[in-house]
């Protein structure tokens, strides 16, 4: 009887094992210094994001979670929806600059939209970053 119970418990718990998804995102990202002369720059970028719906986490590169890795963190979090993943981060650097990056990843279309900003209140300089990346989604177990 105990073997049967163990088998039933294993079958009941197996679907609850953490299922995660890996998003390999690539595309062009544009950066522009506002209020300063000069053309914006564009770079090809690649980021890999891992999201687990059951465990409730999103693992992302520090560059797109810039506010989460600063000495003072104001906002650092993600929402995992069935069709959309949204992450926001905002923090203050040791030098007092505001650094933030937000992104949304549409699971259906495989597109990631991102926007970021770095503001230095002492000099008034503002660097804005934006882009749209194509993502390939694979299941991880």
Residue 5 has pLDDT above 80, yes or no: no
What's the CA gap between 117 and 137, in Å, rounded? 27
CA 57 to chain centre: 10
Residue 19 contacts residue 29 (beta carbons within 8 Å): no
Q: What is the pLDDT of residues 70-97, one digit of tens each?
A: 999 999 999 999 999 999 999 999 999 9
Q: Cα–Cα distance between 65 and 47 in angstroms, integer?
A: 11
**pLDDT tens, residue by residue, 29-45:** 999 999 888 889 999 99
CA angle 21, 25, 27 (to 5 degrees): 170
Which pTM value belongs to this model?
A: 0.81
Q: Is 84 in contact with 104 (CB distance < 8 Å)?
A: yes
What is the overall mean pLDDT for the chain? 87
């Amino acid at each position: 009887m105990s073997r049967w119970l163990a088998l039933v418990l294993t079958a009941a718990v197996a679907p609850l094992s953490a299922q995660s998804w890996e998003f390999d995102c690539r595309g062009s990202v544009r950066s522009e210094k506002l209020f300063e002369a000069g053309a914006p720059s564009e770079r090809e970028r690649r980021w890999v994001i891992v999201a687990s719906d059951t465990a409730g986490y999103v693992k992302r590169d520090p560059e797109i979670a810039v506010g989460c890795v600063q000495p003072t963190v104001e906002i650092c979090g993600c929402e995992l929806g069935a069709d959309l993943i949204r992450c926001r981060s905002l923090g203050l650097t040791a030098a007092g600059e505001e650094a933030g990056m937000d992104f949304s990843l549409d699971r259906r279309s495989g597109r990631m939209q991102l926007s970021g900003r770095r503001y230095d209140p002492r000099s008034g300089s503002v660097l804005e970053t934006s882009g749209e990346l194509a993502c390939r989604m694979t299941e991880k177990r």
